[in-house]
Amino acid sequence: MSRFSAPIAEQIWDMKYRFKDAEQTPIDGSVEDSWRRVARDLARVETTPDAWEDKFYSALEDFKFLPAGRILAGAGTKRSVTLFNCFVMGTIPDDMGGIFEMLKEAALTMQQGGGIGYDFSTIRPKGADVKGVAADASGPMSFMDVWDAMCRTIMSAGSRRGAMMATMRCDHPDIEQFISAKQDAARLRMFNLSVLVTDPFMEAVKADAPWELVFDGKVYQTVQARDLWNKIMQGTYDYAEPGVIFIDRINQKNNLHYAETIAATNPCGEQPLPPYGACLLGSINMARLVANPFEANADLDLVALDDLVRTAVRMMDNVVDASRFPLDAQRAEAQAKRRIGLGVTGLADALLMVGERYGSESAAQQTETWMKAIARAAYLASADLAAEKGAFPLFDKDAFLASETMLEMDDDVRAAIAKNGIRNALLTSIAPTGTISLYAGNVSSGIEPVFAYAYTRKVLQKDGSRTEEEVVDYAVQMWRDKFGDTELPDHFVNAQTLAPLDHVRMQAAAQKWIDSSISKTINCPEDISFDDFKEVYMAAWDQGCKGCTTYRPNDVTGSVLSVSEDTEKAPEVDTGADVVYLAEPLDRPESLEGHTYKLKWPESEHAMYITINDVIANGQRRPFEVFINSKNMEHYAWTLALTRMISAVFRRGGDVSFVVEELKAVFDPRGGAWVQGKYIPSILGAIGGVIETHMIAIGFIAGEGEHLKSDPEAKVVAMGQSGGKSCPSCGTPGMRMIEGCMTCASCGHSKCG
């Protein structure tokens, strides 16, 4: 019998975590093969690998311990990918050479499948003097646009689009531009944004005091702290960004307060990290550890929990030695501190099983008790590992035990660390677990409440049609199996009915025993007043949270899932939800009809010829494959790769118009060109335009730009002058020849210096 409790779980495994060869032929014949592959790879660094392989397999079995997706997909495959999920990159220098060296490092990291976080507070504000060149600085926002463009072009390993987090201090002179940046729907789409909020700023907000915006000791502007806070709040109220990170609290409670200063987090915020820090994630599945669910004596099996946590800590510690790293600096940082992020998933389901109402004071107390049990087991396991294998290299007993987190730890844990040291500097973190929670049978994600008891998932078939399947929450399915389709008890609550302050209470309860941070979204109703919305953030601050992220559905943010009008149990997935491909690609007929288009790119010696062939599927003509040919051998490798990638996407069926959007959004930092009176930001954008033209001609899409979320060219065209290449300094089109040199009429940049 299959180990999967729901069809969606097996689909997720097959799509995301099942090891397949280059031709997509499965190598893992079953999920047991996947567990064995991961267990064997993580045990190979042990002196007795066979014994630990079996122990590790037992932890993975039946989805009790869920390593993060990178580990599930990459361990034991010999692929050149990192097993670490995310990284915070090095500190960005305030000079052009250093900035672009950081961009290169970011690209290399994302190429191997890592999400990245950056603090852009170190770049001087827009308009500041640039010594030696008699110019004004363009500011950090302009460089964030460059990072965003880079991220668009790189697909993370494991079928994940690259993810980035950008942070900026609340006292940076460009903070207001940072707050409003993503209110332009076409800008910074690859970034999550969070403001680094300091303790003095929060004190100034409460006192309605003035607040100085400062860089390098110079005060650029003085504003009212409360006004700036309201701008942050208004931005996230209307656009769901930026988030808020209480950065002083993070540094004060850091076990490594004596060895590092943190100024950024990974993309989802649960791992505040120092420069070149990496996050290694895994989750204990709480829903699998409840004994006698829904009975009067239901309780979490604390003995099983302790044993599982200890095994998980050892497995994750081994990942530090088993993983590849994109950069040597990342390897050195990981090995010097051996930081791991062990968290939980299925918490809300576990609470339902023991009769607790998520969000209640009782449930918060139960959560705190369980989190403390996990923290104790993790710290004691790491102390035992230190006795066996050695403490992390930067361990300083007195300084470590003096951290705020350790001062709150039980005496026996402190004694064990004082005696043996500790193998891992930080051990606990609660990450977003959406995909691995589905893989584990649709358990509730992380510490989030159950979003919906059941919903309909639309699954894309190879002919472009969609079928529907019901996806039921794990605990709800257990209730149905046990009691039939009876009415759910009153303590069954979900995200649709939960008050925002109940969310905050649960996050604060979990945070007390989590030494890193927590990825959690506080769902707010669309009609929440602005004052009540602000109170959510103030409550998070007052109750000891390290950050706060909210989501309020509205016309701008939309909604990932919406509850249907006739029954709360049947939410529907909108067309923007992820889809699962259940079938093989569309079959290729013996012959196809198509068109060939000639593309002449300015300053290129040879034209490109783009052939697009179509197929008739489900009564509709649709693009099936693309061929790009050019006599220019400099284009050969990337055009061949592009041909294969786009054709592979087309052959999957469904709505593939996003290919146009992605290509048209790529800009060349060397400048685009004016083609037939329209500014095109790159040759890739021009290819996207050709594909779009073809899609319109065959009736696959209605018209130019109509299928796009936004037109990525609109703002560039608005900035344009009479034509010409874009300036590499300010990005304005209109470079022209003056005194033998290409010169920008807008900012004066010249290639001649």
Per-residue pLDDT reduced to its tens digit, 280-334: 999 999 999 999 999 999 999 999 999 999 999 999 999 999 998 889 999 999 9
d(CA 41, CA 49): 9
Sign of CA pseudo-dihedral 709, 714, 715, 716: positive
Quick check: 662 and 152 in contact, CB under 8 A?
yes
Decide if 10 is catalytic: no
What are 516-563's pLDDT values in tens digits? 999 999 989 999 999 999 999 999 999 999 999 998 887 776 554 444
Strand 115-119 to 86-88 pairing: parallel
Decide if 268 is catalytic: yes
Nearest of 20, 9, 14 to residue 62 by alpha carbon:
9
Pick out the chain residues at pLDDT < 70.
Answer: 1, 113, 132-134, 154-162, 458-465, 557-586, 603-605, 634, 669-671, 677, 705-753
What's the pLDDT score for residue 490?
Answer: 92
Options 3.20.70.20, 1.10.10.2840, 3.40.50.150, 1.10.630.10; CATH of 86-264:
3.20.70.20
What's the pLDDT score for residue 141?
Answer: 94
Annotated active-site residue in 266, 285, 424, 613: 266
Before 93, cis peptide (omega within 30)? no
Phi, psi of 207 (to 5 degrees): -90, 0
Residue 698 neighbours by CB distance under 10 Å: 16
Strand, coil or helix: 617: strand
**Element (H or E) spanning 177, and its range?**
helix 175-180
d(CA 327, CA 324): 9
Burial annotation 270-290 (CB, 10 A radius, 16+ → b, else e): bbbbbbbbbbbbbbbbbbbbb
What's the pLDDT score for residue 113?
Answer: 67
In the chain, CATH 3.20.70.20 covers 86-264
Annotated active-site residue in 10, 53, 241, 270: 270
What's the pLDDT score for residue 310?
Answer: 98
What's the pLDDT score for residue 463?
Answer: 59
How many helices (H) and strands (E) the chain has is answered by 25, 33
Query: Which residues are registered as beta bridge partners of 416?
Result: none
What's the pLDDT score for residue 682?
Answer: 85
- pTM of the model as a whole: 0.75
Decide if 270 is catalytic: yes
Q: Which amino acid is at 394?
A: L
What's the pLDDT score for residue 260?
Answer: 96
What's the pLDDT score for residue 1?
Answer: 52
Q: Which two tokens stand for residue 743?
A: 């010169």
Annotated active-site residue in 86, 151, 170, 268: 268
Q: Strand locations in 164-241, DSSP E? A: 164-169, 191-197, 210-215, 218-224
d(CA 414, CA 199): 28
Sign of CA pseudo-dihedral 581, 114, 341, 317: positive
What's the pLDDT score for residue 607?
Answer: 83
Strand 735-738 to 741-744 pairing: antiparallel
d(CA 398, CA 668): 52
Q: Which two tokens stand for residue 589?
A: 């007929």
3-state secondary structure 645-709: HHHHHHCCCCCCCHHHHHHHCCCCCCCCEEECCEEECCHHHHHHHHHHHHHHHCCCCCCCCCCCC
What's the pLDDT score for residue 175?
Answer: 98
